[in-house]
Amino acid sequence: MATAHITSDFNDIAKTVIMPGDPLRAKYIADNFLTNVKQVNSVRNMLAYTGYYKDTLVTIFPSGMGLASIGIYAYELYKFYDVDTIIRVGSCGSYKEDLNLFDIVLVDESWSDSNFAKIYCGLDTNVSIGNSETNEKIKEVANTINKKIHIGNIYCSECFYSLVDKESTLIQDKNCLGVEMESYALFHIANSLNKKASTVLTVSNSFVTGCETTAKEREQGFNDMILLVLESII
């Protein structure tokens, strides 16, 4: 089994995939949280790993940045490797005063001005929705381990740098907690293929206070989010 972007054997990919954006974060998760780890992909330096968290087999597979990139990897994993669930673990910028650096966000709905869904499957909509079953499990685990999480909508942008000053009206109208660049595509692909997807984010910067994390902190400083997600899959 191989695709244009993944050279893993079919049996090397677990049914549940944890998907950070950064390949180095994927390596960090594999090195620090998994046992019996095997590297299963290196195409384009998208380093992916399969191993055990406690007694559960899991694959850590990076998405790269943006809707187009996660769209490629999520589709190929679902369609050609029969993955059942992908949980994105990423970062976001906060729009809210009470959402501080390193706070954790569980996404209900992802709102976007993107045409991704229209181009992908002909669906003309601004919203995509995470899997309720997977989200409920993450909420349950958060309560069990007494980890505070924020639950709500996120704005998914196609463009990290923009010369347009006007913000999307969706941000205010849908009370988006923050912004990231991948969940809208992930949710659409999962729903179109009758698969499961969730997105859990750690706040990496605040548009309210101007505070932000370093590159090293974004690579290695999101342990609470990682543990929460890993515990939710066992």
Query: Looking at residues 126-130, what average pLDDT do you find?
Result: 98
Residue 22: per-residue pLDDT? 95
| In the predicted structure, residue 165 carries a pLDDT above the cut 70 | no
Residue 219: per-residue pLDDT? 75
| In the predicted structure, residue 171 carries a pLDDT above the cut 80 | yes
Residue 103: per-residue pLDDT? 96
User: How far from chain centre, in Å, is Cα 28?
Assistant: 16
Tokens of 98: 């009470």
Candidates 228, 184, 176; CA nearest to 202 is 228
Query: Looking at residues 152-159, what average pLDDT do you find?
Result: 96
In this predicted model, what pLDDT tens digit does every residue of 32-82 receive, in sequence order?
A: 999 999 999 999 999 999 999 999 999 999 999 999 999 999 999 999 999
pTM of the predicted model as reported, rounded to 2 decimal places: 0.96
Domain residue spans in the chain? 10-232
Q: Give the three-class secondary structure for 4.
A: coil
Cβ density class 162-179: b for 16+ within 10 Å, e for less: eeeeeebebbeebebbbb
Distance of alpha carbon 18 from alpha carbon 234, whole angstroms: 13
Q: What is the CATH number of domain 10-232?
A: 3.40.50.1580
At residue 2 the predicted structure's pLDDT band, cuts being 50, 70 and 90, is confident
Task: Count CB neighbours of 214 within 10 A.
Answer: 10
At residue 162 the predicted structure's pLDDT band, cuts being 50, 70 and 90, is confident
- Residue by residue, DSSP assigns 65-80 as SSHHHHHHHHHHHHHH
In this predicted model, what pLDDT tens digit does every residue of 94-107 receive, in sequence order?
A: 999 999 999 999 99
In this predicted model, what pLDDT tens digit does every residue of 204-226 receive, in sequence order?
A: 999 999 999 998 888 777 999 99
